[in-house]
A and B are shown apart, each in its own frame.
Chain A
Amino acid sequence: EDKVVQSPLSLVVHEGDTVTLNCSYEVTNFRSLLWYKQEKKAPTFLFMLTSSGIEKKSGRLSSILDKKELFSILNITATQTGDSAIYLCAVEGNAGKSTFGDGTTLTVKP
């Protein structure tokens, strides 16, 4: 059975802090790992990672995958209140079948 575990489950920080969100997985026929942001509505895409060691970056957000150790991290630097959301990690296997973790709820206080 495919499994994705995210940690921590929740996190409270102050604006300007840097946070690291973790995602570990066990999946048959790994094809990709994806990060989504969910703000009280539908999830929106952040990153897709398929190769180990290659960092994906978008503004203050970055992510990297370690296929040997079966985990990924999502970093957010200089956090803002607008970063408050649930961050979801998903691992995709064959035919697009995706397994999601329970998410990390990030709260950024002013």
Chain B
Amino acid sequence: DAGITQSPRYKITETGRQVTLMCHQTWSHSYMFWYRQDLGHGLRLIYYSAAADITDKGEVPDGYVVSRSKTENFPLTLESATRSQTSVYFCASSERTPNEQYFGPGTRLTVT
């Protein structure tokens, strides 16, 4: 499928578990981003990447790990999930900057 996809779309996990959210884009965009959106709030940047093997922290990186070994993939790992990480997670990509970002459909994560 062309575009940007996320998996899983819904995930329930327990406190303390490790969970990985996947993001895949087919455009070969250089830039990729992970955001979280909590109820009543806008998007907060967790991590971003300007190219394969280049990642940097965003506004709220604590408790998260990213990697980008291939241009098209940008997985986000919660090393030890906490209830405060219950949120909707959006992955996005952009061909260049400044430019619009294209968002994936989101992953709704619940940590019990």
**Chain A contact residues, CB within 8 Å of chain B:** 4, 6, 31-32, 34, 41-45, 48, 50, 88, 90, 92, 95-103
**Nearest-CB residue, chain A, relative to B99:** A48
Candidates A43, A48, A92; contact of B103 at CB < 8 Å = A43
Whether the pair B43, A42 counts as a contact (CB closer than 8 A) is no
Chain A residues within 8 Å of B56, by CB:
95, 97
Q: 6 smallest A-B Cβ distances: which pairs?
A: A32-B98, A42-B103, A100-B42, A96-B97, A45-B100, A31-B98
Interface centre among B42, B56, B58, B106 (most CB of A within 10 A): B42
Question: Are A97 and B45 CB-contacts (below 8 A) given A43-B103, A45-B101?
Answer: yes
Main secondary structure of the interface of A (DSSP, over half): strand
Contacting residues of chain B (18-51) with chain A, CB-CB under 8 angstroms: 31, 33, 35, 40-45, 48, 50
Chain A residues within 8 Å of B53, by CB:
none
**Nearest-CB residue, chain B, relative to A50:** B98
**Chain B contact residues, CB within 8 Å of chain A:** 31, 33, 35, 40-45, 48, 50, 56, 58-59, 90, 94, 97-106
Whether the pair B98, A96 counts as a contact (CB closer than 8 A) is yes
Whether the pair B94, A96 counts as a contact (CB closer than 8 A) is yes
Q: Measured between alpha carbons, how far is A43 from B31 in the docked complex, in Å?
A: 17
Q: Measured between alpha carbons, how far is A43 from B35 in the docked complex, in Å?
A: 12
Q: A43-B103, A90-B42, A99-B59 are in contact. List 16 more A-B contacts (CB 8 A).
A: A6-B42, A32-B98, A34-B101, A42-B106, A44-B103, A48-B99, A48-B100, A92-B97, A96-B31, A96-B94, A96-B97, A96-B99, A98-B43, A100-B42, A100-B43, A103-B41
